Amino acid sequence: MILAHGIGSQHDLPISPFYAFSGAFAALFVSFLALGLLWSTSRFRGDRSGLALPVGLQRAVDAPVTRTTLRMLGLAAALAFVLHLVLGPDDPDRNPAPGAVYVLLWVGLVPASLLLGPVWRLLNPLRSLHRLLTRARRRGRPDPRPHPLPPRLGQWPAAAGLLAFTWLELVSPEPAARTSLLIALLVHVVVQLALAARYGERWFADGDPFEAYSTLLARLSPFGRRADGRLVLRNPFHGLDATPERPGLVATVCVLLGSTAYDGFSDSPSWINAIQTSPLGRTFTATLGLLGAVTLVAALYCLCAAATRLLSGPHPAPLTAFAHSLVPIALGYLVAHYFSLLVTEGPRTVSMALGTDNAPDPLPPLGPGALAVLQVTAVVAGHVLGVIAAHDRSVRLFPPARAVVGQLPLLALMITYTIGGLALLLN
């Protein structure tokens, strides 16, 4: 089913695997050599950089009426989704609710966050519901003080939430069925609001999986905030460099990478045959496959971090120091796997939501050759951007004599991820 498994089969794309693999290896290796020879000092300044945008524009963006309007839009969209889900037919070909979750939200947040920044923070209907519930609870009572968030919690809740969502999308027997979506929605809303009631609204920043997902992708947006709060136009690498080194950051990115890799692998005939004939059952076997893909991605990164520390010297946070370099890789995987889904199923979902009875069948936006080029380019470009981000961080943290040598494990990791990503696309 196309809504449950991304763009579906991409076998026999008209591009030579030899040229794809050799071109990817050459791009990574040449980038690594060029950076080692020409980039000896750190150039990225995180949230201290950026060209300040006009004050009038910032006032309009930060105006209470703007924020209120966006919150109302988020609530209206959530209400429309629930109404379609409850009252509409239990058929994803005639009900826009599954497409709203798996296409407009999950995939649509990618371009929205890249272009506009962490948009889900402003649209998140759970934030609005939490504020309404808090105001109702405060009437006639003293203002309750929320509990402090445990420092070690970090983004672990977001990683767990993203893993649960990808399980629903890729593993559950009926991901687009009304019952499945209603149960998932109810559990998500109850858990998020209960924890927000305990820890306050700041819970959503790292606890809501979609908000953390949007914020992470927004690190590569050309628009951002400086440390002083000014809205700026910036080099996306500066925003990426400002990614906080939080507990759970590695897990969050590895869930994105591993689940997308599993989505591509789950379409292969060998895996389909394996889960259909497994004595453990389809759902349990597919769950093991998803967990195995995420674990493999994480294990390779942890092994790379240990090797980097061995070659470059001790570092207080070897795992999180280079985790930001995985974000463009995850973005490349998301674009390669879900671009076609967004531009075909997205308009059809909107058409159904607006009440069009004769929604057209989705048509591929690109021919097979152009689609293959886009997919390979997205995967390779994501890894090259990851190499650049990792190199800049390396020359900042380690002495010059060890900075380049210490990146050899990272280069090996990038090549491994690239080979794996291209193999899934070109299988």
Residue 45 in tokens: 């300044």
Q: What pLDDT, in 10s, does the model give residues 401-425? A: 787 787 788 888 888 888 888 887 7
C-alpha dist (Å) from residue 300 to 125, 306, 414: 37, 10, 10
13: amino acid identity, one letter: L
Q: Which residues pair with 52 in a beta bridge?
A: 232
C-alpha atoms less than 13 angstroms from C-alpha of 222 in its C-beta half-sphere: 5
Residue among 85, 187, 182, 195 at smallest CA distance from 133: 195
C-alpha dist (Å) from residue 383 to 89, 135, 149: 42, 46, 34
pLDDT in the model for residue 363: 65
Question: Distance (Å, rounded) from C-alpha 230 to C-alpha 330?
Answer: 28
What's this model's pTM, rounded to 2 decimal places? 0.90
Q: Are 187 and 136 in contact (CB under 8 A)?
A: no
pLDDT in the model for residue 7: 37
Query: Residue for token digits 């798996």?
Result: 102
Count of beta carbons in the 10 Å neighbourhood of residue 323 = 23
Backbone angles phi, psi at 202, to 5 degrees: -65, -10
C-alpha dist (Å) from residue 250 to 89, 200, 324, 367, 378: 40, 25, 8, 36, 21
Question: Distance (Å, rounded) from C-alpha 391 to C-alpha 403?
Answer: 8
Beta sheet of 223-225, edge-to-edge order:
51-52, 231-233, 223-225
Quick one: residue 50, left, alpha or beta (phi over 0 = left, psi -120 to 50 = alpha)?
Answer: left
Positions of the chain with pLDDT under 50: 1-12
pLDDT in the model for residue 8: 38
Residue among 113, 110, 132, 133 at smallest CA distance from 121: 113
